[in-house]
Chains A and B, each alone.
Chain A
Amino acid sequence: MAMIAIGWPNWRRLNQEGIVFAIAILLFAAAAIGLPGFLTADNLVAIVRSVSVLGILALGMAVVIIGRGIDLSAVAIMAMSVAWYLQLLNTGTSDGLAFAYVLAGVLAIGLFNGFLVAYADVPAIFVTLATGSFVFGYVRSQLITQDAVPVPQGHWVELLGGVRFLDIPVEVFVFAGLAFLFFLFLRYTKWGRYIYFAGDNPVAARNIGVPVRPMLVLRYVLSAFVALIAGLLTAASLHSINTRIVNSTLLYDIVLVAVIGGIGLSGGRGGVRNVLVGAALIGILLNAMTIIDIPLLYQNLIKAAILLGAIIVDGIINPRDEQTAQQGDI
């Protein structure tokens, strides 16, 4: 057995992550050969940069999905929290106070999501669908006046967008740092391991004494905070935040990154590496499509087709476990 492990890859252990990674490399090679201007330093940085925000959001989503949940409110929290923050700044609220408000708001939504899922036993999909809709609607109708809110001149968020190190924009480093932190959290901390236990079999986890419900709340709070960070980075690079992003397909891109990387929707499987692989594939794909000049509408169609394929494959590789599936777990 040891020989197999050292020598040729064990084909039986070839999983979705491996396949996707192989496809990503093939695609990369094909694009490098076939597309002029793909294999330049600028373009490679652009690829990584384009998936940074997506990848950060996918990290938060990954933690929730591993724990057998889903957070459909991530994009709404991302856009609306930052939009509110910038609106507060633009109307003259002091930076500290504004940030405290937004932080409290994000925390409240995360707690609310987690509470309803954990303690009221409401399916995560419906809770987060509802809170996402509410967050967008409330902030848009009550707290801000326009779809897009600009970053005030000279504010640190604007400056953040200009920070570069070795010609690489800051969000790439933030993505890398967060990915490393999440890796440590999921792999080496007790609470991180709890997420896998609870995701694999919530009832068994509860029976061995894992605080399943508080951990559930923690995951949604974590996801909400990650969304806030992603929103700040978006605002930093674009100098404004457009709340219409909530109605775009960004949310599905996040799920796509997580699922296509091999994080099973039935929970308990996957990790940061899967997010990176998924982000790589999507980044290369989007970049290649942009270079070939496929219109955005068709890109959406292609992404949807890929996501559908990923979900079908996921359904075949990780079939639903009827024994541990919850009532209303659809």
Chain B
Amino acid sequence: MTFRERLQAWRYNLVPDHLVGEILTKRWTDNAIPFLALVATLGVFGSIIPGFFKLTSLQESTRQLGEFSLVVIGMTVVMLGGGIDLSVGSIFALSCFSAVYVFFILEQSIWLALAAALAAGLVFGAINGYLVGYLRLRAFLTTLVTFIFGRALFDILVTTYAADVQLSQASSDVLDFIGDGTFWGLSVSVWLAIILAIVTHIALTRSRPGWHVLAVGGSRRSAHNAGIRVRRTVFMTYVFSGFCASIGGFLIACRLSGAGPGTGLNLEIMALTAAVVGGVSLGGGRGSVVKGLMGAIIVLTMTNGLIRLGYGTGTNQMVLGILLAVAVTIDIRWLKNRHKVLNEVYVAPVYLRMGETQSAAPGSGTPYELDNRLSAADHIGLGELEGPEDVILDRDDHLYCGTRHGEIVRFFAPDYIRSEVFAHIGGFPLGLAFDKEGNLISCVGAMGLYSVSPDRDVKRLSAETARSWTSIVDDARLRDPNDCDIAPDGRIYFTDSTKRYDAHDWALDSIENRATGRLLVYDPKDGSTKTLLDGYRYTNGVCMAHDGKSLFFAESWACRVHRYWLEGSKAGTAECVIRDMPGYPDNINRASDGNYWMAWLGMRTPSFDLSLRHPDMRKRMTRRLPQDEWLFPNINTGGVVKFNEKGGIVETLGDLSGNAHPMVTSMREHRGYLFVGGILNNRVGRYKIEGADPNWTSPASYWGGKP
């Protein structure tokens, strides 16, 4: 190994590039920018304004923050639903006036004042909601106009009644408490904001109406097609916003004991800026209450901070303008480009030097020498099947295989012409196995481990395992369950090929070549799933040894077969039994003569082996070339290999014609025949094995003769 190659190996195997991509897949990265902005804002203003963090100072500013947060929560919900509410300032002001009017001029109780404020907000919100939701007007302009309308109304009312309010003698302890008092150190407005934020958060994330809001914001048309009442949902968001703004208005009425021409002025642009700065997306569907609150704190800290620092008239608007422009631009660009960035950085190839291998060329004289025997196989279901990854036969000789469409198809013995859909699971059923009771166990790609009873009841056995603490990507989820087999005690051993890619992205996994394949076990007694082994390059086929004391499993991209011990002195450990094969191993199954059949899904090529030593080249390749020009494992030729208990190769079968079985992902011996499946094939092959036991069947081999 040259020094340069060694450097590359260190660079690509030790630097965890893949973490960048994994972090970017996390939804919480959306929150990172506003959170950093929040910390920076608080840090900067906290350090330059003396006494910023003092309790009295905080109490006054948090009182304002409480009112403002309420308004922002309403705005956030409207924006999540795909709209915008610019009239919050007017609603705020009108609600404030309603409360003031009822309390100071009509001299009614404070609770009636609250009711009046809420009524004003709800009615105003309902008008907005009707115009935008039911009449489908443009939210921005419509609420802009209702904002002007409400403001004009408020100005008229305030100038008319200002003097009366001043002269009023009404007072109330409750009002003073709401306006000035604290409860456990926090003002009423902050408590209300906290409570409303929690309730709204739970409603948005865990209730049907909340999901409807997010769905409508995410895609209006899809939401409509899904049967959601889009117009009513939009209507409700505006009513909610009116409700929030009216509580804010009531609180400020209590705090200031009156309403002035400045009440709620510029509140709409502040609330909008807060929501957008916090990361609530324009156009809807993305965002949360927490984001809105972060934005509220940032905006209020900045504007209040600048006032306290003594900057003159207009500074607020300048800062709000800059904040809004920057936040909106970042939001739009981030939304547009996030998946592009993710695609660019997610694939992080590692260095691997594959071992020297024996030739598989015909006439080379090695045990791997491919011949043309499989081209003579009969075909079953030709043209009817798409993607029979694995095949299996039951005690009555019926043939089962999975298809690309998520179905398990059954061909009836003895001629295998008639077929039916045995069960529909979904996903892509891959490895199959029968348990003692005759249930068909299947590893379903992208879904998990499933069981189909003889009565066709589909049951999910497992879709997750324990989450490891150090993994960033969610490794509890089974992304690509590939093959399974069942131990004599009923426990199901199965593989999950990769943690980083979905099943259909197996080519990317091969290019990256990171060792994230696992061997897992499902225990039917308690329904638990445990990870036994981790860190293999695409774990694939699993087969219980004839004595049931160990199992073999294939590691595809490393071209190796391992043996995992279930009993004996080496229990719980794995050892490599076959290494450096010329082909990529797939499923492994028992043979009648005490040996094992192993499928080759493809053959190694010198070019791809070389590319594995050049991770930089593969990285560039995935970024700059279209997918159909990528170099990835050759899957146009494969074969079937028979190996013995010690890992010695007995013989190799192939289809050199390339017509019937160019690549093989599975094979199953049954009554002297070998049934051959391929994940990209359109048939199941049936090949007569010379000298095989004509009575041997796999169910009998596992579970004994017919009961």
Contacts and interface: CB of A to CB of B under 8 A. Distances in A.
Contacts of A126: 276, 282, 324-325, 328
A136 interface: yes
Contacts of B145: 252, 304, 307-308, 311
Interface stretch (B131-139, B425-433, B442-450): B131-139
Contacts of B146: 304, 308
Given A126-B282, A141-B314, A311-B142, A134 B152 contact: no
A136 B152 contact: no
Given A137-B321, A308-B145, A330-B84, A297 B332 contact: no
Contact of A129 (B148, B153, B324): B324
B314 A127 contact: no
Nearest to B322: A134
B269 interface: yes
A252 B155 CA distance: 17
Contact of A327 (B138, B144, B276, B283): B283
Contacts of B138: 265, 311, 315, 320, 330
Interface in A115-144: 116, 120-123, 125-127, 129-142
A300 B329 contact: no
Nearest to A299: B152
B283 A130 contact: no
Interface in B125-184: 131, 135-142, 144-146, 148-149, 151-153, 155-156, 159
A90 interface: no
A8 interface: no
B328 A131 contact: no
Given A301-B156, A311-B145, A328-B332, A136 B317 contact: yes
A140 B328 CA distance: 24
A297 B336 contact: no
A132 B321 contact: yes
Contact of A136 (B135, B272, B282, B314): B314
B136 A319 contact: yes
Given A121-B336, A301-B156, A252 B144 contact: yes
Contacts of B314: 136-142
B316 interface: yes
Contacts of A305: 149
B283 A300 contact: no
Contacts of B318: 133-134, 136-138, 140-142
A188 interface: no
B340 interface: no
A229 B448 CA distance: 69
Contact of B148 (A123, A249, A327): A249
The secondary structure that dominates the B interface is: helix
From DSSP, what is the main secondary structure of chain A's interface residues? helix
A137 B315 contact: yes
A301 B315 contact: no
A134 B320 CA distance: 7
Interface string A274-315: 000000000000000000000001101101110110011001
Contacts of A53: none
A62 B324 CA distance: 25
B260 to A, nearest CB: 15
Contacts of A140: 312-314, 317-318
Interface in A228-278: 249, 252, 255, 265
A322 interface: yes
Given A141-B318, A301-B156, A265 B141 contact: yes
B677 interface: no
A330 B315 contact: no
Nearest to A139: B314
Nearest to A124: B140
Given A312-B135, A315-B136, A131 B329 contact: no
Given A252-B145, A255-B141, A328-B283, A130 B328 contact: yes
B703 interface: no
B140 A122 contact: no
Contacts of B83: 330
Contact of B321 (A130, A252, A297, A300): A130
A328 B136 CA distance: 15
A265 B315 CA distance: 32
Interface string B210-227: 000000000011000000
Given A312-B135, A312-B137, A307 B148 contact: yes
A297 B148 CA distance: 11
Interface string A177-204: 0000000000000000000000000000
Which of B145, B152, B153, B332 is packed against the most chain A CB atoms within 10 Å?
A: B145
B206 interface: no
Given A133-B324, A134-B318, A304-B149, A116 B269 contact: no
B324 to A, nearest CB: 4
B271 to A, nearest CB: 13
B4 interface: no
Contact of A298 (B84, B156, B324): B156
Interface in B284-330: 311-322, 324-325, 328-329
B325 A137 contact: no
B208 interface: no
A116 B325 contact: yes
A237 B144 CA distance: 30
A70 B141 CA distance: 10
Contacts of B153: 301
B329 A330 contact: no
B242 interface: no
A130 B326 CA distance: 9
B328 A137 contact: no
Given A122-B332, A133-B318, A308 B149 contact: yes
B82 interface: yes
A231 B116 CA distance: 43
Contacts of A316: 135
B141 A130 contact: no
B27 interface: no
25 contacts: A116-B325, A122-B325, A125-B140, A129-B272, A131-B321, A134-B317, A135-B321, A136-B321, A137-B315, A137-B318, A138-B318, A140-B317, A298-B156, A303-B148, A308-B146, A311-B138, A311-B145, A315-B135, A315-B136, A315-B137, A316-B135, A320-B138, A328-B332, A330-B84, A330-B282
Interface of B: 82-84, 131, 135-142, 144-146, 148-149, 151-153, 155-156, 159, 220-221, 269, 272, 276, 281-283, 311-322, 324-325, 328-329, 332-333, 336
Given A138-B321, A304-B149, A311-B138, 4 more contacts: A120-B332, A304-B146, A311-B145, A315-B137
Interface of A: 70, 116, 120-123, 125-127, 129-142, 147, 249, 252, 255, 265, 297-298, 300-301, 303-305, 307-308, 311-312, 315-316, 319-320, 322, 327-330
Closest 9 CB pairs of A and B: A137-B318, A134-B321, A140-B314, A137-B317, A328-B283, A133-B321, A141-B314, A130-B325, A304-B149
